[in-house]
Amino acid sequence: MSVLPDIEKIRADFPILERKVYGRPLIYFDNTATSQTPRCVVSAVEEAYYSRKANVHRGVHCLSQEATDAMENARRRVARFINAESETQVIFTRGTTEAINLVASSYGELLEPGDEIILTVMEHHSNIVPWQLLKARKDIIIKVVPIKDDGTLDMAVYRALFTERTRLVSVCHVSNVLGTVNPIKEIIDIAHDRGAVVCVDGAQAAPHIKIDVTALEADFYAFSSHKMYGPTGIGILYGRKSLLEAMPPYQGGGEMIGHVSFSGTTWAELPFKFEAGTPDYVDAAAFSAALDYIDSIGLEKIDAYEQELLEYATAQLEEIPGLRIFGHAPHKCALVSFVVDGIHPYDLGMLLDKLGIAVRTGHHCAQPLMQALGVEGTVRASWAVYNTREEVDTFITALRRAVSMLS
């Protein structure tokens, strides 16, 4: 029996699953890019706009106070979800991308020319380009950890890359292409032993794995709401308090100031120092509702169920002639990237779409990894709590049909 016996009840929480695409029931297997949203999260957005829309932290009137309470309750909710020591370490951003850019821009100001940063070949562009921009500004050195044939990091090379000038490691917790779950605690411990700070891109981990930033001893941890059944356009940067206090502001404007005069300005306390302007307090509250939804099912149950789907799908994919899967790490999250010899991934994706099945094709914002794998792109199927074995069966049948048409 599945670890989620009430799957139909769960599916009923997501109205989009009732729609059809090209006359066929929608099968949504693009969850690594963004997940769908349950009714309770949309209701939280509606409630905020219809009952307490007012600017936060600035008004003495009732609506402003209620909006402020909702936003700060959401901050505390996130802190509990990741086991942060204090909600002041939780900064609202527009997503993982902005969170990493914040670290690169603000913590990056503390670096000197010749300082070194370690990345990995499996990083999303959002965890490559901000550091390249920093390199252009500060003349830092970027080093890259390769992967082994099974899609795991070469930890021996990782250890060997450190020198006395290594200041920071920035690494994904889970690869958005390979599904590899990196040994993030070991990566952090090695870096700390050598005096380096670690920034973790947790965008693909947070929807599937229980994150405990205190146990990990993470310096920075970034993730996004929209991959966790929440609204788009909002994310989180967790930071170690001493580092956040030492960093200059990311942006200037209202809310992030203590006092402004033309002779000089002082900064607000954490976390407001890094939240310039009117924040997205509506989606902050909705993200809190999404975390409640995840906890109502149980993240461990969600992960176990998704692993069932991963194993079930992988076994059938491996039976298709000419199909090659990238990423065979012992510990993976629920996604599979593959190619079929002689067929362009885009063509497969287009045919699957016509059959009502949404998958992702292309380089998945990981072009350096594609170069390392020796391909231009892949087809990626990824699963969430509302997907089913029956959908996997339909996907496999459709894929076999598409392969036969394109061969």
Give the active site residues: 365
Instruction: Measure the CA–CA gap between 111 and 263, rounded to whole angstroms.
Output: 27
User: Which stretches of 180-292 are assigned E, i.e. beta strand?
Assistant: 197-201, 220-224, 235-239, 257-261, 264-267
User: Which are the contacts of 175, defined by CB distance < 8 A and separation ≥ 6?
Assistant: 122, 151, 182, 204, 327, 366, 369
Cβ-based neighbour number of residue 344 at 10 Å: 15
Sign, Cα dihedral of 233, 93, 59, 255 = negative
| Residue 15 CA: distances (Å) to CA of 4, 177, 302, 365 | 19, 28, 19, 29
Question: Structure tokens of 387?
Answer: 């997907």
Instruction: Measure the CA–CA gap between 336 and 327, rounded to whole angstroms.
Output: 8
End-to-end alpha carbon distance in the chain: 38
SS3 296: helix
SS3 222: strand
DSSP conformational letter for 147 = B
SS3 55: coil
CB neighbour burial string for 19-47, b if at least 16 within 10 angstroms, e if fewer: eeeeeeebbbbbbbebbbbbeebeebbeb
List, as own/partner pairs, every contact residues 187-191 make where C-beta atoms lie below 8 angstroms and the sequence separation is at least 24, other chains included.
Answer: 187/153, 187/158, 188/216, 188/217, 188/218, 188/219, 189/217, 190/158, 190/159, 190/162, 191/118, 191/162, 191/166
Instruction: Identify the CA nearest to 308 among candidates 394, 405, 387.
Output: 387
Instruction: Measure the CA–CA gap between 104 and 85, rounded to whole angstroms.
Output: 23
Which bin fits 179, alpha (ψ -120 to 50), beta or left (φ > 0)? left
